[in-house]
Amino acid sequence: MRKTRLLLCTCLLISWQFANAQLGGSRAFEYLNLPNNARLAALGGINITSGWYDPGQVTSNPAMLNDTLEHQLVISRLGYFADIANTSVTYVTPIKKYGTWAFHLDYLNYGDIQSFDEAGFLNGEFSVNEYAFSVANSQVFGPFRVGANLKVAVSDLATFQASALLLDVGGTFLHPEKDLTVGFVIKNIGFLISDYTEDNNSQLPTDIQLGVSYKPEFMPFRFSVTARNLVRSDVTFFDPSTNSLFGQNEEPGFGEEIFRRLVFGAELIASPNFQLRFGYNHLLRQELKLENASGGAGFSFGFMFKVKRFEFAYSRALYHTVGGSNTLQMNLNLDGVINKN
Q: Mind listing the pLDDT tens digit of every residue in the chain (341 residues)?
A: 444 333 334 443 443 344 333 333 458 899 999 999 999 999 999 999 999 999 999 999 999 999 999 999 999 999 988 889 999 999 999 998 889 999 999 999 988 888 887 888 888 888 889 999 999 999 999 999 999 999 999 999 888 999 999 999 999 999 999 999 999 999 999 999 999 998 888 899 999 999 999 999 999 999 999 999 998 877 776 666 555 444 555 677 778 889 999 999 999 999 999 999 999 999 988 888 877 777 789 999 999 999 989 999 999 999 877 788 999 999 999 986 665 54
Nearest residue to 167 (alpha-carbon basis) of 205, 118, 125, 218: 205
Q: Give the SS3 label for residue 11.
A: helix
Q: Give the SS3 label for residue 95.
A: strand
Exposed (0-12), middle (13-18) or buried (19+): which is 320, by Cβ within 10 Å? Answer: middle
Exposed (0-12), middle (13-18) or buried (19+): which is 164, by Cβ within 10 Å? Answer: buried
The set of residues, in sequence order, having a beta carbon less than 8 Å from that of 225 and lying 6+ positions away, is 211, 212, 262, 263, 264, 265
Domain boundaries defined on the chain: 2-110+123-340
Which DSSP helix (H) or strand (E) runs through 8? helix 2-19
Cα dihedral 123, 131, 45, 145, rounded to 10, equals -170
| pLDDT on residue 252 | 74
What does the alpha-carbon distance between residue 281 and residue 45 come to, in Å, rounded to a whole number? Answer: 8
What does the alpha-carbon distance between residue 331 and residue 309 come to, in Å, rounded to a whole number? Answer: 8
Whole-structure pTM value: 0.85
Do 230 and 261 form a contact (C-beta atoms < 8 A)?
Answer: yes
Kindly report the CA angle at 297 between 278 and 132, in degrees rounded to 5? 75
Q: What is the DSSP string of 301-337?
A: EEEEEEETTEEEEEEEEEEETTEEEEEEEEEEE-HHH
Q: Which fold has domain 2-110+123-340?
A: Porin (2.40.160)
The CA distances from residue 74 to 28, 69, 328, in Å, are 27, 11, 11
What does the alpha-carbon distance between residue 86 and residue 200 come to, in Å, rounded to a whole number? Answer: 26
Do 319 and 327 form a contact (C-beta atoms < 8 A)?
Answer: no
The strand pairing partners of 126, in sequence order, are: 113
Phi-psi region of 195 (alpha: psi -120 to 50; beta: other; left: phi over 0): beta
Kindly report the CA angle at 115 between 110 and 116, in degrees rounded to 5? 150
> How many C-beta atoms lie closer than 10 Å to residue 223's C-beta?
15
Do 104 and 136 form a contact (C-beta atoms < 8 A)?
Answer: yes
Do 257 and 282 form a contact (C-beta atoms < 8 A)?
Answer: no
